[in-house]
Structure 1
């Protein structure tokens, strides 16, 4: 088996990956430098090869994405050939994204952004009362790997966390309850913090609109670490300007990069980061991807079901 790796694995991560296919030949390069010849020779590709390069992958059996999302690889045109196994990296980003969004939320609740502005202005200012997560009600939309990590962080600080997903099923650690998305508007009025890690879909695009924010509790916090198209951005700005929301933290926008003239930049009590909660900034992400990919290489060789396989 020829395995083409497009990710910046260090030696330890390479060892983890290669243990999944001891007899395979591994070629390491980057997405920018990979050649059509390397793509054609690959039986398995580890990393999100640009969809427009896939026609060169004539021998491909497995495409292991380095992202949890796979929107660009499944569409009516069939970007990935039907006989190629497509797997994503769900389970790799829970710690990284949840910690990032949790830190953004606490920064808002403790007014740390304003104090940073005061420091730069050389001003000694008391910005007044702050809030805590203790005894608050936190509503997490999207109770998968990232949502469960986030729930544990909030629960550790004394919050009461309810998760929302399509089917209730088992209630993971960190959540006190699990509900379905059909109950969203029944739960919004009681939530002190509303957090979304939802993927992009027909059901979620534009979900966080005026109706959504009007249903929220006065003075609640809104956090989005999922997809930018969840939010109608003008409606988010209006909710912040009216103080319906005490603050909002977003790592995703529409479009990305966010244009310099977007009114989001100047919205009050809005904390924006440039879609960096995931990526590879925290070392555990690449550790996790290497382990997932190694597992799938083993399963592929044995003809067994793959982890995180995506229908396409």
Structure 2
């Protein structure tokens, strides 16, 4: 990100670090910090001049917002920068399961030419007419809904405040209606933030309400799911499959059953990583820097 920013000729002196130790060493001179995974709140003790943090990520759970407010440090999130990427990734995970692309890749690596499947239930599936339930219909969830609609699916969206509108979904409900709609779902997609309300939202009880042929897609956070209950359901065939970009512990431990389950497609929390990601973050950063220099309180994606 530093070479891209420097090439724009802002005149601002920059430094780039890749370890927590280097970040702690650089912080005493920093007025502005662009960060996500390296941040830990004890770093505040090393940052006497810090006035603004631009989070690279959409999530901001890692930041002590009360401490920031007390210190007069502004915080803005990266919300929206990965809307296209994550929504497309969710659809890709769904298609990988529906069209059995991961199995095809495994067969290719093993040089196996699969014979014609005489059992229709062993074949790939089609999406038109199927029901997708999306938990979290913000920017990402709404775009997932639009793509699913283009695939002739019916979409039920769940959001904390249904009064904000249904967007591209056919129907909008409250998070509290999750268990009422799960029996209808052919595909369940999580694209919600991790909050007290959504922690372990998909638990054993919720999974028990899903169809045996249902797919589960998670591009939200691993903490939104009771992972042990999900693994049990996948192992026992109580749901058909899962496409997971996030897990409860990351990196995923080597002994996790998720690595070897044939009905699971895993990606390493990479849904938002594209060639345009840094450019999208810099767009927010530059707009917010202009506003800060002008004394404007209304930052883009302001958190604190």
| TM-score for both structures, normalised by structure 1 | 0.86
Aligned partners of 2:157 and 2:166 also within 8 Å:
no
Matches within 5 A, 1:120-131: 120-126=109-115, 128-131=122-125
**What is aligned with 1:5?**
none
The root-mean-square deviation of aligned C-alpha atoms, in Å, is 2.3
Distance 2:29 2:151 in 1: 51
**What is aligned with 1:299?**
291
Q: Which moved more, 1:25-34 or 1:64-73?
A: 25-34
Q: Secondary structure at the match of 2:156?
A: strand
Aligned partners of 2:54 and 2:285 also within 8 Å:
yes
Aligned partners of 1:73 and 1:80 also within 8 Å:
no
Q: CA deviation at 1:41?
A: 2.6
Q: Does 1:30 align with 2:23?
A: no
Q: CA deviation at 1:136?
A: 1.4
Distance 1:248 1:232 in 2: 13
Q: Against the structure 1 CA distance between its residues 57 and 172, is the aligned structure 2 distance closer, same or farther, given a 3 Å change threshold?
A: farther
Q: Does 1:65 align with 2:20?
A: no
**What is aligned with 1:83?**
72
**What is aligned with 1:228?**
222
Q: Does 1:46 align with 2:34?
A: yes
Aligned partners of 2:2 and 2:14 also within 8 Å:
no
Q: Against the structure 1 CA distance between its residues 37 and 252, is the aligned structure 2 distance closer, same or farther, given a 3 Å change threshold?
A: closer
Q: Secondary structure at the match of 1:248?
A: strand
Q: CA deviation at 1:34?
A: 4.5
Q: Secondary structure at the match of 2:189?
A: strand
**What is aligned with 1:240?**
234
Distance 2:200 2:157 in 1: 20
Q: CA deviation at 1:251?
A: 0.9
Distance 2:23 2:179 in 1: 50
Q: Against the structure 1 CA distance between its residues 37 and 132, is the aligned structure 2 distance closer, same or farther, given a 3 Å change threshold?
A: same
Q: CA deviation at 1:82?
A: 3.6
Aligned partners of 1:69 and 1:199 also within 8 Å:
yes
Q: CA deviation at 1:284?
A: 2.1
**What is aligned with 1:260?**
254
**What is aligned with 1:56?**
46
After superposition, what is the alpha-carbon deviation per residue over 1:160-199, rounded to whole angstroms, capped at 9, x for unaligned?
2221111123446532222211111111111111000122
Distance 2:299 2:243 in 1: 35
**What is aligned with 1:169?**
163
| TM-score for both structures, normalised by structure 2 | 0.88
Matches within 5 A, 1:8-19: 8-11=1-4
Distance 2:197 2:255 in 1: 29
Matches within 5 A, 1:66-215: 66-74=56-64, 78=67, 81-126=70-115, 128-171=122-165, 173-215=167-209
Aligned partners of 1:139 and 1:195 also within 8 Å:
yes
Aligned partners of 2:85 and 2:274 also within 8 Å:
yes
- Alignment length, in residue pairs? 295
Distance 1:129 1:260 in 2: 31
Q: Which moved more, 1:46-55 or 1:301-310?
A: 46-55
Distance 1:143 1:273 in 2: 22
After superposition, what is the alpha-carbon deviation per residue over 1:218-272, rounded to whole angstroms, capped at 9, x for unaligned?
3111000111111112211222233221111111112111111112223340111
Q: Which moved more, 1:121-130 or 1:93-102?
A: 121-130
Distance 2:34 2:220 in 1: 23
Q: Against the structure 1 CA distance between its residues 295 and 135, is the aligned structure 2 distance closer, same or farther, given a 3 Å change threshold?
A: same
Q: Does 1:288 align with 2:280?
A: yes
Distance 1:205 1:101 in 2: 20
